[in-house]
Each structure stands twice: as C-alpha cells, then as structure tokens.
Structure 1
Amino acid sequence: MPNLLFICSKNQWRSPTAELLFKNHAIHSAKSAGTSDKARIKVNQKMIDWADFIFVMERKHRKILEQNFQKSITHKPIIVLDIEDNYQFNTPELIDILRISLQDYL
C-alpha cells in the first residue's frame, strides 16, 4: 500500500483536504503536514521516511523540503500540484482540483 504525504504551508486547508480524499482508501494511505513553524502538524523526518510519494501544493514547499530533508528525499518522487493558497478546507472547488490532479492515485 503506497504512502502519500501531502504538504502545504500551515496544514490547515489544502493538504488536510487532500488527505481526507484518501481516508479509508483501498490502495493508499495518506498523511498531511505543513512546512511552516505555525503548521497544525509540521513535516518531520519520520513522515518523509514513511512516504512513498510526496505531493506539495506549491514549488516553495518543494524547495523547503529540499533544504531541510536533502538526503532523505533524493530518491522520493516529489510532485508539485501548483495549487495556490486560495481555498478553504474541503471546499468543492478544492476537492475538484485535487481529484483532477490526483486522478492517477484515487
């Protein structure tokens, strides 16, 4: 069962919404975290090690991961979803964007 890690800034809206799409999924497990010190759940080494695929909402999140977890992410696919911080948690528009972006995994 592949493990999917979703990353945004504060782990309030985008990444928790993506994680929720995979709740009780038959094939994948998912977690979410944020890169900010103010994140609800801040990304850490244990999460990076757990993940088979890492999805970041913006390019800046990828850069932060590359700076903080350089050696750990060398062989892990990091997919930039290009979803700006314009959505609230679990809004229909955000869910639609995520479903389209993640259709190969859902």
Structure 2
Amino acid sequence: MNILFVCSRNKWRSATAETIFKNHPIHQVRSAGTEPSARIKLSAKHLNWADLIFVMEKKHKQRIIEKFSGEIVHAEIIVLHIPDEYQYMNEDLIEELTAKVSNYL
C-alpha cells in the first residue's frame, strides 16, 4: 500500500512520519506539505500515487478536497489530529504518530 503523510510545510510532522515509517516491509511511504513554502509541495501526482493519506489536521484534509477533488477519488484521508507544536523527530511526536497510525498498518 502507498501511504502519504501531509502537513503544512513538510518540515516536522509529515517529514517525521515519513522517516519513521519509510522502512516498513510492506508499505511505501512519502510525505508532502500543503503550503507554497513546503519542503515538498503536495501535488496531484502524490495523491494519485497514494492509497491512504494521513493528514495532521482537519485543515489539511479541507485543503486537499478544495484543491484536488478529482485526484482523491480512490484514496481514504485520515485526520490524525496532531497539532503543529513538535520539531522534526521529537520523541513525543514519534510516540503520537506511532500510536495513531499503527492501527492502519
């Protein structure tokens, strides 16, 4: 399964998720951001690739629906409810991501 993690700037939350899940034996993992200043900007190509999309906040899901409604017809979008208050690879962020995503993997 192809899994995409999305946050605003793809610097802390989604980048951390990609790092901790990238070596999963079954799933392929990528990350992107919704903002113009994102390290890797979310594109239609990302959404067409993804089977499952994890977003950090409701606003990320809304932005995807507004901008890419045609590209998300086959992918499920899960809101993780993880606020933008962590740095890259923060121990608490890793624990929260692992707990919230493990049921889907």
TM-score bin, normalised by smaller chain: over 0.9
When the two structures are aligned, how many residues end up with a matched partner? Answer: 105
1:82 and 2:62 matched = no
Do 2:57 and 2:79's aligned partners in 1 also have CA atoms closer than 8 Å?
Answer: yes
SS in 2 for 1:43: coil
Report Cα offsets for 1:30-85 as digits up to 9, x if no partner: 00000000000000011000000000000000000001111211331000000000
* Uncovered stretches (5+) of structure 2, i.e. residues with no partner: none
Kindly report structure 1 stretches of 4+ aligned residues shifted beyond 6 Å. Answer: none
* Aligned partner letter, 1:100: A
Conserved 8 A contact 2:8-2:34: yes
Amino acid at match of 1:6: F
> What is the letter of the counterpart of residue 85 of structure 1?
D
Query: How far apart, CA to CA, are the structure 1 residues paired with 2:26 and 2:74?
Result: 22
Distance in 2 (CA, whole Å) between partners of 1:31 and 1:51 is 9
TM-score norm. by structure 2 comes to 0.96
Distance 2:48 2:91 in 1: 31
Work out the CA distance in 2 between the residues paired with 1:20 and 1:47.
17
Deviations 1:1-43 (CA, angstroms, capped at 9, x unpaired):
x000000000000001011111221011100000000000000
Identity of aligned residues (%): 50
TM-score (normalised: structure 1)? 0.95
CA contact (8 A) 2:22 2:30 kept: no
Larger helix percent? 2
**Please, which runs of 5 or more residues in structure 1 have no aligned partner?**
none
